[in-house]
Amino acid sequence: MQNIATTVMNNLKTWARVNSPWAIHFNSGSCNGCDIEILATLTPRYDVERFGIKLQGSPRHADVLICTGPVTRQARERLLRVYEQMPEPKFVVAVGSCGLSGGVFQGSYNIIGSIDEVLPVNAYIPGCPPRPEAIIQGVVALLESLKPPKE
Binding footprint of ligand SF4 on the chain (CB under 6 A): 30-31, 33-34, 68-69, 96-98, 103-104, 128-129
Between the two ends of the chain, the Cα-to-Cα distance in Å is 20
Of the pair 18, 79, the CB lying nearest ligand SF4 is at 79
Kindly provide the residue ranges of all beta strands, DSSP E only, lying in 2-80, ordered along the sequence.
Answer: 22-27, 54-55, 64-68, 71-72
Question: Nearest approach, Cβ of 129 to ligand SF4 (angstroms)?
Answer: 4
Cα–Cα distance, 99 to 144 (Å, whole number): 22
Of the pair 129, 138, the CB lying nearest ligand SF4 is at 129
Q: Give the DSSP H/E element, type plus range, for residue 111.
A: strand 111-113
Question: Nearest approach, Cβ of 17 to ligand SF4 (angstroms)?
Answer: 28
Using CB atoms, what's the residue nearest to ligand SF4?
A: 33
Cα–Cα distance, 131 to 127 (Å, whole number): 8
Question: Nearest approach, Cβ of 33 to ligand SF4 (angstroms)?
Answer: 3
